[in-house]
């Protein structure tokens, strides 16, 4: 059933979801991100960006599909540790995402908008997209790759799920054992089924006309992006 990307809907993408429901799901998704080491491959990639740019000491960073802002928090801690001054921004089309992030004191300015509606003049040194791209159907993903390549001055990165039976089974059991939010219970395995194989990324990049590196990262992640020195 995981041979091709699923087109099943995720509850989180339904505009009728209430703020309380959305916030509860984000809280549990942040738990999953911590347990699944979701931040580590992104922060290691940022180390590569800094090294490729002569030890850059200032970066503007946009996180697309920023959810509750936990990735921005991890990036802020990375910057403080590395001595890199950061201008952080999070973008998410859900109005509940920004409210959740603000309520938890997450760093950076917040942009509530569809990513394709962002002002064309907005550019960033780095654009990140962690565990969001699987929400996009293939034609939109192709458009998004072009968008990323045009917006990022020093590099962009997608970090997303490897579609495979092992993480699907582990997540299916884990979210139930931990009694996570019902939305997370439903969406977690749907997300993996909507995830990617290397061939999916190669096809999307080819259709987008975008050159990027495709790397597998532990645990069961794909890192797709480019670094400009």
Are 167 and 220 contacting, i.e. CB atoms less than 8 angstroms apart?
yes
Tokens of 20: 């309380």
Domain boundaries of the chain, sorted by first residue: 38-162+197-227
Q: What CA–CA distance (Å, rounded) separates 44 from 78?
A: 10
Q: What CA–CA distance (Å, rounded) separates 171 from 183?
A: 13
Whether the predicted pLDDT of 1 surpasses 90: no
> How confident is the model over 109-145, as pLDDT tens digits?
999 999 999 988 899 999 999 999 999 999 999 999 9
> For domain 38-162+197-227, is the CATH number 3.40.50.150?
yes
Burial class (CB in 10 A: 0-12, 13-18, 19+), 3: exposed
One-character DSSP codes across 79-103? HHHHT-EEEEEEEES-HHHHHHHHH
> How confident is the model over 50-100, as pLDDT tens digits?
999 999 999 999 999 999 999 999 999 999 999 999 999 999 999 999 999
Are 214 and 202 contacting, i.e. CB atoms less than 8 angstroms apart?
yes
Q: What are the backbone angles phi and psi of residue 91, rounded to the nearest 5°? A: -120, 130
SS3 64: strand
Tell me, what's the pLDDT at 121? 87
């Amino acid at each position: 059933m995981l041979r091709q990307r699923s087109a099943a809907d995720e509850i989180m993408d339904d505009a009728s979801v209430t703020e309380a429901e959305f916030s509860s799901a984000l809280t549990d998704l942040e738990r999953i991100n911590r347990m699944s080491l979701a931040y580590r491959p992104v922060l290691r990639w940022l180390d590569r960006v800094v090294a490729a740019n002569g030890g850059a000491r200032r970066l503007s960073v946009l996180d697309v599909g920023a959810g509750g802002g936990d990735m921005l928090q991890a990036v802020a801690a990375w910057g403080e540790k590395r001595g890199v001054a950061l201008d952080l921004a999070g973008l998410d089309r859900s109005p509940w995402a920004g409210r959740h992030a603000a309520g938890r004191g997450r760093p950076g300015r917040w942009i509530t908008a569809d990513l394709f509606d962002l002002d064309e003049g907005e550019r960033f040194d780095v654009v990140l997209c962690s565990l969001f791209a699987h929400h996009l159907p293939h034609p939109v993903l192709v458009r998004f790759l072009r968008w990323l390549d045009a917006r990022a001055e020093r590099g962009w990165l997608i970090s997303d799920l490897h579609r495979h039976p092992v993480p699907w089974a582990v997540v299916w059991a884990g979210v139930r054992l931990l009694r996570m939010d019902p939305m997370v219970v439903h969406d977690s395995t749907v997300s993996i089924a909507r995830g990617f194989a290397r061939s999916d990324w190669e096809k999307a990049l080819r259709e987008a006309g975008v050159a990027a590196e495709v790397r597998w990262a532990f645990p069961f992640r794909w890192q797709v992006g480019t670094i400009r020195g």
